[in-house]
Amino acid sequence: MSCSREYLTREFFCRRTLPNAFGAAYGIKPNARHVNLPYPGVFVLDRDGVVTQKRFYESYRERDTGPGLIAQTLGIVTESSARVVATNGPVVTARAWLDSPTYVFFQRVVLTVEVSIAPGFHVYGQPAGDGLTPLSIEIDAIDGLEVGPARWPSPRRFTRPGFNDGLWVHEGIVRGTVPLTFAAAPSGGDHVVGVTVRYQACDETSCLVPSSVQLQVSVREAALVGRSLPPPGA
């Protein structure tokens, strides 16, 4: 990738040459139009103008939402007023929301799942010991939906008799994020994203059986800027 910088506007202009293998991964035949293609991306600079992050995705069509970009780069998480809450008993409560109520073709929307663990209890993180169920997120399949890896804060080490290496656990309130990209052709319609949160809760003396909670988060399809959605099935 080659980049130039226009100092008057403080904007970066980048051009990326896409190898044939990149196009093949997306079922795209070699095409001269895919060489030296303008490539959207974001550089994050600190107060001194030093680049601290760069955000480019394999597909030139994929990009973050505005709130998602702020959350990922600055750690400022905006909670949706339409968040969904679910519980499976008094020990663990989960809620979830998307960083945008809408999605457009190939936009990366971030799902946040917040798990609240009752005082005196913990849930297991990764790596989990043999026979233990770590905290995890599963997303129900939707046609064209690409699900990225879940990210959790680092767990803390918890030691107890009989476990020489200790265990990794989460306590209190912990938030995980999952990137979702709606890659189906436009007119895919609105969706309800099914989310399953799996966990095993324990206190100092005993463990509960592995359990899960289910949540459903709605998202509406929107048209690209300056365009309208094609009719369904077009």
| AA letter at 35 | V
- pLDDT level of residue 58 (50, 70, 90 thresholds): low
* 117 has a pLDDT exceeding 90: yes
- pLDDT level of residue 24 (50, 70, 90 thresholds): low
- pLDDT level of residue 200 (50, 70, 90 thresholds): very high
| AA letter at 172 | G
What does the pLDDT read at residue 234? 56
> Cα–Cα distance between 206 and 35 in angstroms, integer?
60
Residue 15: closest CA among 31, 44, 39: 39
Segment holding 198, helix H or strand E: strand 191-199
Query: Where do the domains of the chain lie, and which CATH numbers do they carry?
Result: 8-74 (no CATH), 84-221 (2.60.40.1250)
| Cα torsion angle, 57, 60, 61, 67, sign | positive
| AA letter at 29 | K
* 2 has a pLDDT exceeding 50: no
Q: Are strands 107-117 and 63-64 parallel, antiparallel or unpaired?
A: parallel
> Cα–Cα distance between 137 and 177 in angstroms, integer?
9
Q: Euclidean distance between the first and final Cα of the chain, in Å?
A: 36
Number of alpha carbons in the 13 Å side-chain half-sphere of residue 166 = 8
